[in-house]
């Protein structure tokens, strides 16, 4: 099969484990996410996200075709939907799309962006990741998403999983992280002790088998913000995250990584 490329043309598109509407949602594409098509099964296409390499099945009707050149160009797309609940695009037919923060705004020109051949009016000021300052913006960016519910595979305002939340916050601050917690744990530089933590360091947690299954963003050496039931701030110490509601340690600390010195 010849390489084919596409771009997500709707606000949120599920990526599924199998080519079926009933299959597990393993992740999501946001508007402007660009993919390589690596397999087809009727209306279901197996795609690889160009941003993080994550794979899943999706309904091809949620994509617009782009060229291989455009696929490569999208790697440098630094304009995103900002931290707002009112990011609205208007399509050519007058219908609107409500975008989640960190959605790509591709090929912006004269107030319009493009997904393939489709043209959309941008009714907000895009967020320019090249002008961000991680150290001064990490806390406010992370806290913007407080109380959004936990959703397995989620990457949007109506639900995040733990790693989707961390990836989204870092994307808004111009740092590319992988999709899953275990993949993110392979990035960054190791922080030796909890007392050395700086805001924006990322903590990883493992299960009884030693597999990393959870991740969150450190706000201080004793506080973490993470998605568990909802995006929330919890206390943390050398044992891990203490859940006040349950009265127990809910996640066992494994390692801490730093992405900005």
Contact (Cβ atoms closer than 8 angstroms) between residue 170 and residue 176:
yes
Contact (Cβ atoms closer than 8 angstroms) between residue 196 and residue 258:
no
Question: pLDDT value at position 3?
Answer: 72
Task: Give CA–CA dist 118/191, Å, rounded.
Answer: 46
3-state secondary structure of 27: strand
Task: Give CA–CA dist 128/105, Å, rounded.
Answer: 10
- Cβ-proximal residues to 127 (8 Å cutoff; 6+ apart), any chain: 79, 80, 81, 82, 83, 101, 172
Q: Is the dihedral of CA 157, 159, 165, 171 positive or negative?
A: negative
**Tokens at 180, concatenated:** 């899953």
Instruction: Return the CATH architecture of domain 4-127.
Output: Roll (2.30)
Q: What is the pLDDT along the chain (261 residues), one digit of tens a residue?
A: 467 999 999 999 999 999 999 999 999 999 999 999 999 999 999 999 999 999 999 999 999 999 999 999 999 999 999 999 999 999 999 999 999 999 999 999 999 999 999 999 999 999 999 999 999 999 999 999 999 999 999 999 999 999 999 999 999 999 999 999 999 999 999 999 999 999 999 999 999 999 999 999 999 999 999 999 999 999 999 999 999 989 999 999 999 999 998
Query: What would you report as the CA-atom Rg of the chain, rounded to the nearest whole angstrom?
Result: 19
Question: pLDDT value at position 1?
Answer: 47
The DSSP secondary structure of 77-132, one letter per residue, reads --EE--S-S-EEEEETTS-EEEEPTT-B-TT-BTTEEEETTEEEEE-S--EEGGG-
Task: Give CA–CA dist 178/89, Å, rounded.
Answer: 27
Q: Domain residues of the chain, as ranges? A: 4-127, 132-258
Question: pLDDT value at position 26?
Answer: 98
Closest to 163 measured CA to CA, from 140, 186, 179: 179
Residues in the chain: 261
3-state secondary structure of 69: helix
Supply the CATH classification number for the domain 132-258: 3.90.1720.10
What is the distance, to the nearest Å, from the Cα of residue 36 to the centroid of all Cα atoms in its chain?
18
Question: pLDDT value at position 2?
Answer: 62
Q: Where are the alpha helices (DSSP H) in 145-202?
A: 162-172, 181-184
Report pTM.
Answer: 0.96
Contact (Cβ atoms closer than 8 angstroms) between residue 165 and residue 145:
yes
Task: Give CA–CA dist 42/44, Å, rounded.
Answer: 5
């Amino acid at each position: 099969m010849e390489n084919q490329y596409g771009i997500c043309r709707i606000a949120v598109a599920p990526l599924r484990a199998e080519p079926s509407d009933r299959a597990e949602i393993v992740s999501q594409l946001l508007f402007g996410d660009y993919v390589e098509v690596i397999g087809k099964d009727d209306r279901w296409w197996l795609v690889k996200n160009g941003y993080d390499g994550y794979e899943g099945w999706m309904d091809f009707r949620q994509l617009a075709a782009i060229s291989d050149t455009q696929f490569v160009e999208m790697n440098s797309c630094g304009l995103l939907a900002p931290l707002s609940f009112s990011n609205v695009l208007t399509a050519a037919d007058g219908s609107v799309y409500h975008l989640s923060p960190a959605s790509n705004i591709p090929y912006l020109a004269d107030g319009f962006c493009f997904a393939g051949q489709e043209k959309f009016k941008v009714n907000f000021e895009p967020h320019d990741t090249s002008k961000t300052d991680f150290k001064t913006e990490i806390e406010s960016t992370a806290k913007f998403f407080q109380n959004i519910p936990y959703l397995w595979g989620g990457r949007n305002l109506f639900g995040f999983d733990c790693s989707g939340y961390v990836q989204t916050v870092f994307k808004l601050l111009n740092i590319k992280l992988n999709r899953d917690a275990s993949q993110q744990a392979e990035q960054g530089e190791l922080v030796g002790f909890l007392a050395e933590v700086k805001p924006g360091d990322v903590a990883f947690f493992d299960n009884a088998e030693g597999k990393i299954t959870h991740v969150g963003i450190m706000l201080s050496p004793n506080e973490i913000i993470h998605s568990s039931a909802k995006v929330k701030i919890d206390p943390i110490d050398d044992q891990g995250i203490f859940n006040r509601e349950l009265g127990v340690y809910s996640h066992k600390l494994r390692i801490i990584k730093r992405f900005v010195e």
